[in-house]
């Protein structure tokens, strides 16, 4: 079974319609290299299906996020960007000065997750997010 077939079956089992547009959006996101905005995904899909509307892309992305098949992150560009959910969660360190992005393993947050659970009885959603600050090079260069 192909990855698209598996995703289609998950959507079907969750009671979602499998329109050609939705399947093309899923394929575009699943095979994207890195993060893509909804507008970029719409442009990708329009290459093979010119009549897809960006609102259809947003609705599909919302379904995929709720099913934890996709992640949305504010990477500082003003628009959320989306990524097919990796098997292991990861996060991003983003330099506010030079915009360098460093991928951060989820294990950095294990202790914080446990402490929040223990101190507050709170189960945080630590699935995918970005942390903004200054990278080492910008700090050494005196950037602010």
Domain residue extents for the chain: 3-84, 90-140
Fold of 90-140: Dna Ligase; domain 1 (3.30.1490)
Residue-by-residue pLDDT tens, the chain, 144 positions: 677 777 778 788 888 888 888 889 998 998 898 889 999 999 999 999 898 889 999 999 999 998 888 988 887 777 888 988 877 777 889 999 998 889 888 888 899 999 999 999 999 888 777 899 999 999 998 644
Domain spanning 3-84, CATH class: mainly alpha
So what's the pLDDT on residue 25? 93
Selection from 87, 85, 91, 113 nearest residue 104 by Cα: 91
So what's the pLDDT on residue 128? 73
* Cα-Cα-Cα-Cα dihedral sign, residues 41, 44, 49, 54: positive
Selection from 65, 67, 66, 51 nearest residue 19 by Cα: 51
């Amino acid at each position: 079974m192909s990855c698209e077939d598996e995703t289609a079956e998950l959507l079907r089992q969750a009671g979602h319609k499998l329109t050609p547009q939705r399947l093309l959006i899923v394929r575009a996101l699943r095979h994207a290299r890195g993060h893509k905005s909804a507008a970029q995904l719409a442009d990708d899909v329009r290459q093979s299906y010119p009549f897809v509307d960006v609102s259809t892309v947003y609705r599909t992305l919302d379904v995929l996020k709720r099913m934890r098949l996709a992640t949305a992150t504010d990477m500082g560009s003003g628009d959320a960007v989306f990524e097919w959910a990796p098997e292991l969660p990861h996060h991003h360190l983003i330099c506010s000065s030079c915009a360098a992005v460093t991928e951060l393993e989820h294990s950095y947050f294990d202790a914080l997750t446990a402490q929040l659970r223990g101190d507050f009885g709170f189960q945080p959603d630590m699935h995918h997010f970005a942390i903004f600050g200054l990278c080492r090079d910008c700090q050494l260069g005196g950037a602010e």
